[in-house]
Structure 1
Amino acid sequence: MGPKTIVILAALTLCAVIAAGIVSAFDSASSRDARIGSPVFPGLLDRVNDVATLSVASRRGTVTMARGEGGWRLLESDGFKVMSVKARGSVLDLAALRFFEQKTSRPDKYYKLFLRDIDDPYSESKRITLKDAAGAVLADLVIGLGKNNLPGTDTGGIFIRLPGDKRTWLAQGGLNFGEFPSEWLEREIFDISGDRIKRVEIIRPNGDTLVITKRSPMTLVYSLNAMPPGTKVKYDEEPGLIASNLEGFLIEDARRAGAVSFPPGQITRARFETFDGLSSVAEVAIVNRQGWVRFAFSGTGDAVSEAQALSAKTKDWVFRIAGFRTERLTKRRADMLESADSEKQ
């Protein structure tokens, strides 16, 4: 084969490669999904005000928000109030979500994107469903792992999958759909400053009683009363922490009064009295290894109206609370004491 023939063959090969590249480019362009850059739920933005329910389902359970005249409420929490700004904002975020990039359509790869079905015991996904008042589905989506930033954009993204479609996507936009009641409820039910507290009395089911007092509103230190001879408070700050337990009181969940059974003979009562006449009685019970509390308020003088407002807000409800609040509302006196001869390590 002569040099001229070799040159001709090389030129033909180069042309073939270029042609193949052009064809490949056209094929790639023609196969590009038309949905890229478009809303995941076209028209949802125009129907935001039609959304009547928003549900978040995961392998751990479901939370369902329903919108009514009084705002959004959580059905699984017997209709306790939801943060309406968060609920509406979450719907708007979903309406703004856009297809960004195709990902795997292989179910065996879903786990990498946290997109396995919620009935999978190892699933980390959430299924979001929006419906109107007639029950018609406005949006239905499985959401998975988030991504902090997307190339060529100033926003983050999230991996998604439309139910019934094997194809997964990286979508442009941010979603924050919590799966627990505490992520949706109006959690702060009251805020009674520890500086106002004059006296705390905790009576456990067996009669064990703990009393903490402070001489005046200006006094910084609380005292544990009736300390046995030869003992001292183990942690100096603990009486103050107990007295301030009603500050910014956040709940984890709520139920209508009577929906949670407080076992007779297993109820701890904690009474808080303020210098200005407000009295609060918290009854605490451990139900299914979780702390639940119900409140009763009364007042004298200037605190009467405050007590009435607090009663109106809490009297029809029982609340699940965090472990540290339960522990402080049910504290045993013996657990606060140590020998006066003990030295801090």
Structure 2
Amino acid sequence: MGKKGLSALLVIALLCALGYLALRHDQQQAAAPVEQAPWLAAQQDYLGSLQALDIEAPGQPPVRIERHGEDWVVPAKADYPAARQVLADLLRALREARKVEAKTANAQWHARLGLAEQGAEGEQALRLKLQFDGHPDLGLRLGKAAQQGTGQLVRLAGEDQVWLIDRQLNVPPRELDWLDRRISDIPYTDIQRIELRHADGEVLTLNRADAKQYNFAVEQLAGTQKLAFEGAANSVATLFSGLQFADAAPLDQVGFKQPPVLRFSLSGFGGQKLAGALYRQGEQYWLTLGAREGFKVEEVSARPDWAYRLDADQAQRLMKKLRDLLAKS
């Protein structure tokens, strides 16, 4: 190869190297980490004045949460109480979220990042609208999780700039997840007696002489009958500790067509009393709680004018009969 050819190759190589370095410089500038300022810096002072929250998740019906005085409710669920902890956790995360890195400002890339306004389910952003007292509404778009770490890609509604923030925002997409699903949370050690009256007339009574007796005795146990194991009856009582519903509806909307399959009463060592019934509607079981006495609000949260759908395993635990507790001969 002649000197001219060699010189030309050297020039081409130098130009390629300079071009590569220039490209790398541009990429590094575009993805340069920014000072970790709050993502919602302009809203920091009034995030606590939130009055309503609208959630639109791809493929899910919209959900709205509203503030009524000191309470949070789900209007579409006849103003049933909202899960306050879920909302509090989200507001705390929004307040603490900080910018990690400025990403693309090209709207054509939004779909790939899960931040598009329209498109397939994996391309659309989860949309939030926050309404405040005396301040403008705020629209947020939440996209895909960061490829590394626990961050998330986000942007403000009406803006193309995408940011990587330092945390993932937990926004349940279903209405059910925004409801306060507690039915009862009665400490096991407080329960003294439970009576189950089945529609066929069979009665099962479980009791304890005092709180030091851990396992429940069965009053109907007779003769040579023995329980399958010493604590076979305990699962009925433990059901009322941390009991949550699978769905809920006002009583007048459910419209039970048949009498209950079970009526029950529960009493505590401190004089507490609770009565309720279990209905079967099609293939579903619905619980209602009526008279209650002596329980704290957090121990019995269910409303007397509402019905609560239980999972099948919860219903089966409540509908125990004597034969279910006995040892097999």
Q: Give the TM-score normalised by the residue count of structure 1.
A: 0.72
Match of 1:206 in 2: 200
**Is 1:332 aligned to residue 308 of structure 2?**
no
Q: Name the CA shift for 1:160/1:289 in 2 (closer, same or farther; >3 Å).
A: farther
- What do residues 239-279 of structure 1 show as CA deviations (whole Å, max 9, x unaligned)? 01212322244445544443433333244212112233222
Contact 1:48–1:92, Cα closer than 8 Å, also in 2:
no
Contact 2:261–2:279, Cα closer than 8 Å, also in 1:
yes
Give the one of 221, 229, 234 matched to 2:228.
Answer: 234
Match of 1:81 in 2: 81
**Is 1:44 aligned to residue 63 of structure 2?**
no
Residue 145 of structure 1: how far off its partner (Å)? 4.0
Residue 138 of structure 1: how far off its partner (Å)? 0.9
Structure 1 residue matching 2:254: 3-state secondary structure:
coil
Query: What is the CA–CA distance in structure 2 between the aligned matches of 1:69 and 1:307, rounded to whole Å?
Result: 22
The amino acid across from 1:262 in the alignment is F
| Equivalent residue runs for 1:1-345 within 5 Å | 1-2=1-2, 4-5=3-4, 7-25=6-24, 27-28=26-27, 43-58=42-57, 59-94=59-94, 96=97, 98=99, 100=101, 102=103, 110=112, 126-132=126-132, 137-145=137-145, 149=149, 156-160=150-154, 170-181=164-175, 183-188=177-182, 190-227=184-221, 231-287=225-281, 289-299=283-293, 303=294, 306=295, 314-339=303-328, 341=329
CA RMSD of aligned residues (A): 4.3
Residue 160 of structure 1: how far off its partner (Å)? 4.4
Contact 1:280–1:298, Cα closer than 8 Å, also in 2:
yes
Contact 1:263–1:285, Cα closer than 8 Å, also in 2:
no
Contact 1:298–1:308, Cα closer than 8 Å, also in 2:
no
Structure 2 residue matching 1:318: 3-state secondary structure:
strand
Structure 1 residue matching 2:206: 3-state secondary structure:
strand
Query: What is the CA–CA distance in structure 1 between the aligned matches of 2:6 and 2:308, rounded to whole Å?
Result: 85
- What do residues 27-69 of structure 1 show as CA deviations (whole Å, max 9, x unaligned)? 5467669999776656333441443211333324343211231
Match of 1:152 in 2: none
Residue 158 of structure 1: how far off its partner (Å)? 1.9
**What 5-or-longer segments of structure 2 have no aligned partner?**
none
Structure 1 residue matching 2:252: 3-state secondary structure:
coil
Contact 1:56–1:128, Cα closer than 8 Å, also in 2:
yes
The amino acid across from 2:151 in the alignment is G
- What do residues 87-112 of structure 1 show as CA deviations (whole Å, max 9, x unaligned)? 244134235353736479779975xx
Indicate the larger mover: 315-324 or 267-276.
315-324
Contact 1:260–1:318, Cα closer than 8 Å, also in 2:
yes
Q: Name the CA shift for 1:231/1:159 in 2 (closer, same or farther; >3 Å).
A: farther
- What do residues 77-134 of structure 1 show as CA deviations (whole Å, max 9, x unaligned)? 3323334454244134235353736479779975xx7778899678997433323469
Query: What is the CA–CA distance in structure 2 between the aligned matches of 1:269 and 1:290, rounded to whole Å?
Result: 16
Structure 2 residue matching 1:195: 3-state secondary structure:
helix
The amino acid across from 1:138 in the alignment is L
Query: What is the CA–CA distance in structure 2 between the aligned matches of 1:201 and 1:74, rounded to whole Å?
Result: 34
Query: What is the CA–CA distance in structure 1 between the aligned matches of 2:282 and 2:32, rounded to whole Å?
Result: 50
- What do residues 258-317 of structure 1 show as CA deviations (whole Å, max 9, x unaligned)? 343333324421211223322211212244644432222355xxx4xx489978973344
- What do residues 176-195 of structure 1 show as CA deviations (whole Å, max 9, x unaligned)? 11234564444445433333
Contact 1:278–1:307, Cα closer than 8 Å, also in 2:
no
Query: What is the CA–CA distance in structure 2 between the aligned matches of 1:210 and 1:241, rounded to whole Å?
Result: 13
Query: What is the CA–CA distance in structure 2 between the aligned matches of 1:80 and 1:159, rounded to whole Å?
Result: 32
Structure 1 residue matching 2:233: 3-state secondary structure:
helix
Q: Name the CA shift for 1:240/1:27 in 2 (closer, same or farther; >3 Å).
A: closer
Residue 6 of structure 1: how far off its partner (Å)? 5.1
Structure 2 residue matching 1:314: 3-state secondary structure:
coil
Q: Give the TM-score normalised by the residue count of structure 2.
A: 0.75
Residue 141 of structure 1: how far off its partner (Å)? 1.6
Contact 2:274–2:292, Cα closer than 8 Å, also in 1:
yes
Query: What is the CA–CA distance in structure 1 between the aligned matches of 2:206 and 2:124, rounded to whole Å?
Result: 45
- What do residues 132-179 of structure 1 show as CA deviations (whole Å, max 9, x unaligned)? 469964123244446561xxxxxx212447778899764432311123
**What 5-or-longer segments of structure 1 have no aligned partner?**
150-155
The amino acid across from 1:295 in the alignment is L
